[in-house]
Amino acid sequence: MEFRYGLDDHPPLWQRWLYGLQWFAVTVPIIVIIGRVTGGLHFTSPGDQVVYLQKLSFVMAAALLLQVLAGHRLPLITGPSTVLLIGAVASRGYAPQAVYTAILCGGLLLTLLSITGLFGHLRRLFTPRVVAVVLLLIAFTLTPTILQLMTGPPGAANFAFGLALVLAMFAMHRLLKGVWKATLIVWAMAGGALIAHLLFPAAEIPAASAALFAGFFRGLSVELAFDGGVLASFLFCYAALAVNDLGSMQSMNELLKPAGMDRRIRNGVIVTGLTNAASGLLGVIGPVNYSLSLGVIAATGCASRFTLPATAAMLLVLSFSPALIALIGDVPSVVIGAVLLYIVCTQVAAGLVVAFEARREIRMEDGLVIGLPILLGTIIAFLPQEVLQAFPGGLRPVLGNGFAMGVTAALLMEHLVFADKERSSS
């Protein structure tokens, strides 16, 4: 592709802010969607949920700035990780302190693995079929959460509206082009929220009573609370987060072919690990690099990384404005669920592409290695609470985490059950 501005070009100042605004428009809905779901798991008060979104926006601003200037130095947006959302959902019933302590430890471990070079050895375990399972499991194990979001009061009408919104998004994905397609999530959230408020009037996060500018220093850090089961559950999530992070950087490598890619990946994973550790200390979900950045670059024709500091500055301002956070976050749950469903559909598409892009034919072994982990993870994700409570307390966060058990099954199927057959066929 030919770009108006290359990776290290410096567009004029006004264009930097204009391009930064477009990145901001793509980033904020993701922060709101995942932040609303995760914050809702740990806080019932609307005020506490606003503070959670403030802290989350601050972390994403810092992570984005560090990545662009000192980490991978690529035009990749940073957002909260959906795979860590799965870990948080699977750890419901445990103290939030245990969840964020696990996020802190996972971030530190990821940093250590990258600094020592051990991360490169672990990458060998994640073959294309295992990576495909990881991407597919993220989508399938989030379905109970999406179902809960889309079936709240008034029930059937809410669900019907959510399905209509999802179908409309896919129709617009087919018809729109350029920057309109790249910012489809923005328009879906804005339009969906407006229509939903007209059909089902109920404000979920009141913006009127929130201050225009205020800090989020109340409860800035969380107390550490180690729980072996929760930590083990999140370690599986961090393995997937590392694969996701690596895939996003590799996809940008295919597009831009920048020099020193090995060093960029190493530094990028280090920054991801450190900012995840900081997220754990602040009590929010950790960041990851997003591969959807490719669509924004293709739509705008600008691949300059120096447009993203403007986005980070906007996120920083947003993090200190409860009123703006509350206004943007005043999106009905059914719209959050519908947009999240649209997002995880892209995960399914990505997983299928990874699974079969190097295969000229699909074999039975491919279906078995991928099929068992997906079905096992989905079944566990839908297990009733009374069944989960029957598991031993220390093992419950792992055995009740469909994602962790699915990844375990994928690794066993790939490297143990079908390992000899793969070697003989190759």
More confident residue, 176 or 215: 176
| Token pair recorded at residue 265 | 């990946």
Instruction: Spell out the residues 6+ positions from residue 175 whose beta carbon is closer than 8 angstroms to its own.
Output: none
Confidence of residue 212 (pLDDT cuts 50, 70, 90): low
More confident residue, 295 or 177: 177
Q: Over pLDDT 70: what percentage of the chain?
A: 90
Residue 192 has pLDDT above 70, yes or no: yes
> Mean per-residue pLDDT for 379-398?
82
Of the candidate ranges 44-53, 146-155, 408-417, the one whose mean pLDDT is the lowest:
146-155
> Mean per-residue pLDDT for 111-121?
86
The predicted pLDDT at position 290 comes to 85
Residue 183 has pLDDT above 90, yes or no: no
Q: Which of 64-78, 357-371, 384-398 has the highest mean pLDDT?
A: 64-78
Residue 353 has pLDDT above 60, yes or no: yes
pLDDT per position as a tens digit, 311-333: 999 999 999 888 888 887 778 88
pTM value is 0.81
Confidence of residue 69 (pLDDT cuts 50, 70, 90): very high
The predicted pLDDT at position 21 comes to 86
d(CA 75, CA 311): 11
The predicted pLDDT at position 180 comes to 76
Other Cβ atoms less than 10 A from the Cβ of 201: the count is 8
Given its phi and psi angles, is residue 374 left (phi above 0), alpha (psi -120 to 50 degrees) or beta?
alpha
Tell me the CA end-to-end span of the chain in Å, nearest whole number.
Answer: 35
Residue 204 has pLDDT above 70, yes or no: no
Residue 107 has pLDDT above 90, yes or no: yes
pLDDT per position as a tens digit, 218-245: 656 667 888 888 999 899 899 889 888 8
d(CA 47, CA 54): 11
Residue 22 has pLDDT above 90, yes or no: no
Alpha-carbon separation of residue 181 from 188, 331, 338 (angstroms): 11, 21, 17
- Give me the helix-helix angle, 128-140 and 228-256, nearest 10°: 120
> Mean per-residue pLDDT for 54-63?
94
The predicted pLDDT at position 286 comes to 95
Mean pLDDT of the chain: 84
Q: Are 277 and 104 in contact (CB under 8 A)?
A: yes
- Give me the helix-helix angle, 143-150 and 364-381, nearest 10°: 50
For every residue of the chain, which 3-state class applies, written as one string? CCCCECCCCCCCHHHHHHHHHHHHHHHHHHHHHHHHHHHHHHCCCHHHHHHHHHHHHHHHHHHHHHHHHCCCCCCCCEEECHHHHHHHHHCCCCCHHHHHHHHHHHHHHHHHHHHHCHHHHHHHHCCHHHHHHHHHHHHHCCHHHHHHHHCCCCCHHHHHHHHHHHHHHHHHHHHCCHHHHHCHHHHHHHHHHHHHHHHCCCCCCCCCCCCCCCCCCCCCCCCCCCCHHHHHHHHHHHHHHHHHHHHHHHHHHHHHCCCCHHHHHHHHHHHHHHHHHHHHHHCCCCEEECCCHHHHHHHHCECCHHHHHHHHHHHHHHHCCHHHHHHHHCCCHHHHHHHHHHHHHHHHHHHHHHHHCCCCCCCHHHHHHHHHHHHHHHHHHCCCHHHHHCCCCCCHHHHCCHHHHHHHHHHHHHHHHCHHHHHHHC
d(CA 373, CA 417): 13
> Mean per-residue pLDDT for 68-84?
92
Other Cβ atoms less than 10 A from the Cβ of 360: the count is 5
> Mean per-residue pLDDT for 94-120?
91
Q: Does 332 sit behind a cis peptide bond, omega within 30 degrees of 0 on the bond before it?
A: no
b/e 132-160 (16+ beta carbons within 10 angstroms → b) = bbbbbbbbbbbbebbeebbbbeeeeebbe
Residue 203 has pLDDT above 50, yes or no: no
d(CA 159, CA 237): 29
Confidence of residue 123 (pLDDT cuts 50, 70, 90): confident
Instruction: Spell out the residues 6+ positions from residue 38 whose beta carbon is closer than 8 angstroms to its own.
Output: 52, 80, 85, 88, 284, 285
